[in-house]
Structure 1
């Protein structure tokens, strides 16, 4: 059975001019797109199946990501149902020259495992084996409670 740590992914993307708005910061849709892609990767790693987005819970944009900064997206599965998984997502902005970072966005996405015909598929049970797994699961559950 997969664990939260098994599904943990961290990805970086530098924000380019074509990804920005009139304020020279990342479009909210660009940030959401990055979250959706990385979240789906965590979900698929867990389910062993293609996963599609079913729900986005309270996507908070706390601060902008300026052009040239790096969007650091972290995701992991923290809960599983019969055919769906909940994925915790956090986004930080990171200055490329110093590594200084701050939280910009966070959310919980629900993904459903599907076969090639789009029919929902059963997902495995979530296993929590280590302190790291417990920490990741707890942070996901806390995010849902907010």
Structure 2
């Protein structure tokens, strides 16, 4: 059975002018796209199947990411159903010179595993075998419960 920490993924993008809105901050649509992509990667790593986005909880854009900053997107599977996986997603702005990070965005997505016929297929059980994994799972479960 896959472990929560096996699904932890992150990626970075440097915010360029073509990613920005008229305020010279990352366009929310780009951030949401990056979140969806890295979330799907975490779900695919967990399920070993192709995955599609089934649900996006509301998205909190808490602060902007400026042109020249790095957008760091973090994802991990924290709960599963029969064919679905819940993924916590957070975005951070990161100073490329100092590495200083500040959370900018948070959401919870649900992905469904699909087979070669594009039909939902079962996923394995999730294991959480480390203290760090338990803390991440608890944080996700507590954070999501306030939204639903």
TM-score range (shorter-chain normalised) is: over 0.9
Inter-partner Cα distance in structure 2 for 1:133 and 1:22: 39
> Which 4+ stretches in 1 moved above 6 angstroms?
none
Residue pair 1:60, 1:107 contacting (<8 A) in 2 also: yes
Q: Which residue of 2 aligns with 1:25?
A: 25
What corresponds to 1:66 in structure 2? 66
The equivalent residue for 1:57 is 57
* Cα distance in 2, alignment partners of residues 117 and 20 from structure 1: 38
1:131 aligned residue:
131
Give a deviation string over 1:57-86, Cα, whole Å, max 9, x none: 011000110011000111000000000000
- Match of 2:99? 99
Aligned length, in residue pairs: 146
What is the aligned partner in structure 2 of residue 8 from structure 1?
8
Distance between the aligned counterparts of 1:101 and 1:129, measured in 2? 27
What TM-score comes out, normalization by structure 1 length?
Answer: 0.97
Please, what TM-score do these two structures have when normalized by structure 2? 0.96
Question: Which residue is equivalent to 2:121?
Answer: 121
Contact conserved, 1:11 with 1:74, CA < 8 A, in 2? Answer: yes
Does the Cα contact within 8 Å between 1:43 and 1:87 map onto a contact in 2? yes
- 1:86-135 deviation line (CA, Å, top 9, x unaligned): 00001100011111111100010000000122100100011111112211
